[in-house]
Amino acid sequence: MSVQERKQRERADRERLIVATARELAEQQGWDAVTTRRLAERIQYSQPVLYSHFRGKREIIGAVALEGAAEMASAVRAAASAADGPRTRVTALARTYLEFAERNPAVYDAMFQLDGGLAFAHEDTPEPLRDAFAALLESLGEVAGDGVHPGLFTEVFWAALHGLATLTRAGRLPPEETGRRVELLVDRLAVV
């Protein structure tokens, strides 16, 4: 391995450590607790080292969001591929999405609530975000119904899931009814 390759590997390792530490701290104490000073202390690097990877907290949030989008896409695809038939695929997708949001609240916030400097629904949208949407579209497109644009249907279904995740987490909807809400969503929106 060349010196250049070793330096690149070490840089990538440091970057993963910064993102993992930010994510862990945010999940434990919330995003307000994530500061470059605190991150530098936790990973035992100086703040200038952090700034050589990320210009600030906003970019760190963006990196966590991209990592989360990739994880969510993988989870949704795995759940959908394990299900048999359109209805069970869509139900599995919805449950997996909501479970992801519940298990990873800080990551979910980084993806959809906080400013991570990422463009959504735009030509320069980063690939992990595009892929997360594609993971939803793969199953939802088949149940959009005649004359309904699959992408538009996916946006509406995703918005409903996001609303359920956000309202449940905020204590506005009782969590014990989540299963019934998913069934209602699938029954009323999806053509299965």
Distance CA 96, CA 86 (A): 15
pTM of the model: 0.94
pLDDT band (50, 70, 90) for residue 9: very high
pLDDT at 192: 74
Distant-in-sequence, close-in-space partners of 125: CB < 8 Å, separation ≥ 6? 118, 119
Q: In the 8-state DSSP scheme, what is residue 113?
A: T
pLDDT band (50, 70, 90) for residue 1: confident
pLDDT band (50, 70, 90) for residue 96: very high
Residues of the chain with pLDDT > 90: what percent? 96
Give me the helix-helix angle, 150-169 and 105-112, nearest 10°: 130
Q: For 15-62, what is each residue's pLDDT tens digit?
A: 999 999 999 999 999 999 999 999 999 999 999 999 999 999 999 999
Q: For 109-157, what is each residue's pLDDT tens digit?
A: 999 999 999 999 899 999 999 999 999 999 999 999 999 999 999 999 9
Residues of the chain with pLDDT > 70: what percent? 100
Q: For 49-93, what is each residue's pLDDT tens digit?
A: 999 999 999 999 999 999 999 999 999 999 999 999 999 999 999
Distance CA 151, CA 175 (A): 28
Instruction: Provide the residue count of the chain.
Output: 192
Q: Give DSSP secondary structure letters for 118-187.
A: --SSSTT--HHHHHHHHHHHHHHGGGS-TT--HHHHHHHHHHHHHHHHHHHHTTSS-GGGHHHHHHHHHH
pLDDT at 67: 98
Distance CA 4, CA 170 (A): 48
